[in-house]
Amino acid sequence: MNKIKTSIILAAVLASAVFSGSALPAAAEPVEIVALGDSLSAGYGLAPGEAFPEQLQAALRERGYEVNVANAGVSGNTASDGLARLEWSVPAEADIVIVELGANDALRGIDPAVTRQALSEIVTKLKGRGQAVLLAGMLAPRNLGHSYAEQFDTIYADIAAEQDVALYPFFLEGVVTVAALNQADRAHPNAEGIAVIVESILPDVEALMAGIIAAD
């Protein structure tokens, strides 16, 4: 078939699609992810591109995903702070929200019941919008005593089970006790520490993305 005939046939196909009202396949929209968190998401002490949302986005794109990961982390935020700014921090068009809050609650010794209520409300609101949730857990410092730790540590698994959302049990898993993966303050991961977190949490994020992509 010569080039002239090929062009005529292609033009006819396009014209047929237009006049019959048939739409040509649309390009897939990127999956929109928001990391709603504190300094661990915001990137405290890190250079541009090294924060958790940025490294997660880079890792997902390397795997071929069309995805944007927005950084909605604010240093110093408690779970209640995250709840208070939820409406303007997380856009309605977000597909997935990673909720990474609670570390500052534990550091300040806030009543675990207050943290539980705030996180529960955040998840409820996000689910009400139809957004998928990945709840990133936190553990209480052991110097606050066994009773406090026992009350705090169960918050995340309980909420995940009650509200049927995905759970990543401990955001700092594999990082918190490794000096080489933390900044000098020993409270915030360095770029290498964030990379470890991203590698560990990636399967959970990909599982949620698979559901979003399949639904589209």
Identify the pLDDT of residue 104.
98
Q: What parts of the chain have a pLDDT lower than 70?
A: 1-27
Which amino acid belongs to residue 60? L
Identify the pLDDT of residue 216.
78
What is the distance, to the nearest Å, from the Cα of residue 121 to the centroid of all Cα atoms in its chain? 17
Domains of the chain in sequence order: 31-215 (3.40.50.1110)
Identify the pLDDT of residue 146.
96
Over its C-alpha atoms, the chain yields an Rg (Å, rounded) of 22
Identify the pLDDT of residue 7.
40
Summarised one tens digit per residue, pLDDT across range 89-128 is 999 999 999 999 999 999 999 999 999 999 999 999 999 9
Annotated active-site positions, please? 39, 185, 188
Identify the pLDDT of residue 62.
98
Identify the pLDDT of residue 99.
99
| HSE-CB of 151 using CA atoms within 13 angstroms | 15
